Amino acid sequence: MSKPRIAVFDFACCEGCQLQIVNLEEEILDLLAGADVVEWREAMSEQSDEYDIAIIEGSITRPEDEARIKEIRSRAKVLIALGACATIGGINKLKNNFDLDEVKTCVYGADAGKPHLATAMTKAVDEVVTVDFKVEGCPIDRKEFTYIVRCLLLGKTPEIPVYPVCVECKANGNPCLWDQGEVCLGPIIKAGCGARCPSNSHRCFGCRGYVDNPNVNAAKDVIEKYNLDIDTLKLKMSLFGSQQEPTVS
């Protein structure tokens, strides 16, 4: 039986999530022993239009990106969105909060009118094509990436947490940062990172995106308990939550 063919593609991003994969070092050789990597710009020069699994890093910010991701989707049996830029639009989506012409002038100056610049509103990959699996985070968690790819190569469906970061944070025995005056987004953000930030005394800033059906009312209750206002929560949600549900009013 032939091995599954994997191709890795990048769109608008810092390539930090691909770097996490490269940093797996020897583990990546073990992981990919059951597959053929046919394209991966960051790690090899070969290219191919024939692949089974497409791994997509980065968000969609130009019309030509939309055409490209649709072409990749049409060739791949399985498509994985890698990292916050791909799964939720990531930091790139901040620009959607502003006038696009102003953003272009601010970033590109006199070159703002040139073609092939990031000229469209930022979209997550699943706003353009169907995504089969997401590896959340900015950057991704290497263990979670390994687990998801290993499951796929073994023909299993990976189990991704559906509960919030607070569950992992409590399991780690951390004191809650809300008690220290921090607005931590743990109650409404998807777990899976092992509560990386609050376990190191930093608030969760939401890089894994919102849990399904987040209990926003409970979050509001917590805000009231700590005498904070809703705008403070909204501000904290803007880094990775721009243009995402849930809306908080």
Using CB under 6 A, list all residues that contact ligand SF4: 13-17, 57, 83-85, 90-91, 137-139, 165-166, 169-170, 174, 176-178, 184, 186-187, 189, 193, 195-198, 204-208
Q: Which is nearer to ligand SF4, 5 or 83 (CB)?
A: 83
The residue with tokens 């990775």 is 240
Query: What residue number has its CB nearest to ligand SF4?
Result: 186
Identify the three-state secondary structure at position 150: helix
Cβ of residue 205: shortest distance to ligand SF4, in angstroms? 5
Cβ of residue 182: shortest distance to ligand SF4, in angstroms? 7
Q: Which is nearer to ligand SF4, 108 or 178 (CB)?
A: 178
The answer to whether the beta carbons of residues 133 and 152 sit under 8 Å apart is: yes
Cβ of residue 10: shortest distance to ligand SF4, in angstroms? 8
Cβ of residue 37: shortest distance to ligand SF4, in angstroms? 19
Cβ burial, residue 98 (10 Å; 0-12/13-18/19+): exposed
Q: Which is nearer to ligand SF4, 24 or 36 (CB)?
A: 24
Residue 21 phi, psi (nearest 5): -70, -45
Q: Is the peptide bond prior to 4 cis by the omega test (within 30 degrees of 0)?
A: no
Euclidean distance between the first and final Cα of the chain, in Å?
Answer: 55
Q: Which is nearer to ligand SF4, 60 or 195 (CB)?
A: 195
CA–CA separation, 59 vs 39, rounded Å? Answer: 19
Q: Choose among 165, 168, 80: nearest CA to 125.
A: 80
Cβ of residue 64: shortest distance to ligand SF4, in angstroms? 19
Q: Which is nearer to ligand SF4, 52 or 185 (CB)?
A: 185
| Structure-token pair, residue 53 | 């699994």
